[in-house]
Amino acid sequence: MRFRKATGGLVEILALEEREGGSWEALIRPSKKVPAGTDLTNDDGDSVIRIGETSDIGTRYVYPLHESMQELFHKYGEVPLPPYIEGSLEDDERYQTVFANRESSVAAPTAGLHLTEETLEQCLNLGVQVTKLELSVGIGTFRPISTEKIENHIMHGESYALSEDTWALCKQAKRVVAVGTTVVRALESVAITGKLVGRTDLFIAPGFEFKIVDALMTNFHLPRSSLLVMIDAFVGKRWKELYRIALKEDYRFLSFGDAMFVERPK
Tens digit of each residue's pLDDT (9 = 90 or more) over 44-58? 889 999 999 998 878
pLDDT, one tens digit per residue, over 14-73 is: 888 888 778 898 989 888 889 999 999 998 889 999 999 998 878 899 999 988 888 898
| Alpha carbons 172 and 165: distance in angstroms, whole number | 11
pTM for the model = 0.81
DSSP element (H, E) containing 189: helix 181-193
Query: How far apart (Å, rounded) are the C-alpha atoms in residues 154 and 238?
Result: 25
Asked if the bond preceding 265 is cis, omega within 30° of 0, the reply is no
CA–CA separation, 172 and 20 (whole Å): 37
- Give me the count of residues in the chain: 266
Q: Where are the beta strands (DSSP E) in 118-230?
A: 134-135, 158-161, 177-179, 197-200, 215-219
Mean model confidence pLDDT for the chain? 88
pLDDT in tens, 2-11: 899 877 789 9
The predicted-structure confidence for 122-173, as pLDDT tens digits, reads as follows 999 999 999 999 988 777 666 788 888 888 888 878 889 999 999 999 999 9
Over residues 222-264, the pLDDT tens digits come to 888 899 999 999 999 999 999 999 999 999 988 788 999 999 9
With beta carbons less than 8 A apart as the criterion, state whether 131 and 217 touch. Answer: no
Residue 83 pLDDT grade (very low, low, confident, very high; cuts 50, 70, 90): low
Domains defined for the chain, CATH in brackets: 2-76 (2.40.10.240), 92-263 (3.40.1780.10)
